[in-house]
Amino acid sequence: MEIIKFEEINSTNTYAKENIEKYDDKTIVIANHQTAGRGRFKRTWTDLGSENIYMSIILKPSNEFSFIYANLTQYLSLTLCKIFEDMDLKPEIRWPNDILINKKKVVGILCETVMRGNNFKGLVLGTGINLNAPEHAISKIDRPATALNIELGHDIDKTEILEKLLERFFDKYDDFIKVGFPLIRKAYLNRTTIIGKDVKVSILDKIVEGKAEEIDVSGNLILRLKNGERKVINMGELV
Ligand code: BTN
């Protein structure tokens, strides 16, 4: 596995997308600093210093897109939860893939599909992990956020977390690509807290309200709306 390291870059996802043809499947792009880190829904991802993780994994599982790939963000979020649990933390997955600790976001995941014309070139699975952030920087983020050092009260070894992350991610990756979300559904559900609750989901510019009934075998969120309708949601964000 090749690891491409940058001291500073605009965004590891942007770099990986632009240069995907140059690299093999399972290449890792990592930077100490990002000047234009990107999140879902055109948000920015804040650089909290070099002791945090800004990483993108280039994946080329096949020559054609498969719907299973859309669940890789959920697979990665589960992998990270297990690492945090080994550190005696109690992470929670906020559908589809944010990780929260004490209701504050500690991990963001952004997966992008790379096409050239009609040809599928691969995926760029990016993650930002707040490992060691000064409290004053965290408090400037416009939504509730935290970092592992704040939750645990001590510094976190970035190299150790990175090693564990790559080892665990690739350990079951080939199985995941064959089986998809059913492989992890039970473990994923164990780390979510919304089932049975009334929730609001922002989908593009609309807000949908309902009771979270289940997360189905494809990783979709199933809502029961007030009018009794069952709604399958495959993208969006809990608000
Ligand atoms: C989100 O929560 O909206 C997703 C955030 C993803 C941030 C990571 S940091 C590494 C990679 N490069 C980026 O520009 N974004 C992802």
DSSP 164-225: HHHHHHHHTHHHHHHH-GGGTHHHHHTT---TTSEEEEEETTEEEEEEEEEE-TTS-EEEE-
Query: Of ligand 1's atoms, which has the minimum distance to the CA of residue 43?
Result: 3
Residues with CB under 6 A from ligand 1: 11-13, 34, 37-40, 43, 45, 54-56, 98, 108-110, 126-128
Nearest to 89 by CA among 109, 106, 72: 106
pLDDT at 205: 85
Share of residues in the chain with pLDDT > 90 (%): 96
Given a contact cutoff of 8 angstroms between Cβ atoms, the answer to whether 201 and 208 are in contact is yes
Backbone angles phi, psi at 235, to 5 degrees: -150, 155
Given a contact cutoff of 8 angstroms between Cβ atoms, the answer to whether 189 and 215 are in contact is yes
pLDDT per residue, tens digit, the chain (239 aa), is 899 999 999 999 999 999 999 999 999 999 999 999 999 998 999 999 999 999 999 999 999 999 999 999 999 999 999 999 999 999 999 999 999 999 999 999 999 999 999 999 999 999 999 999 999 999 899 999 999 999 999 999 999 999 999 999 999 999 999 999 999 999 999 999 999 999 999 998 899 999 999 999 999 999 999 999 999 999 999 99
Nearest to 235 by CA among 109, 95, 57, 103: 95
Q: Measure 227 CA to ligand 1 centroid, in angstroms.
A: 36
Place of tokens 């993108």: 56
Q: Measure 185 CA to ligand 1 centroid, in angstroms.
A: 24
HSE-up of residue 51 (Cα within 13 Å, Cβ side) = 11
Q: Supply 39's token pair.
A: 């999140």
pLDDT at 1: 86
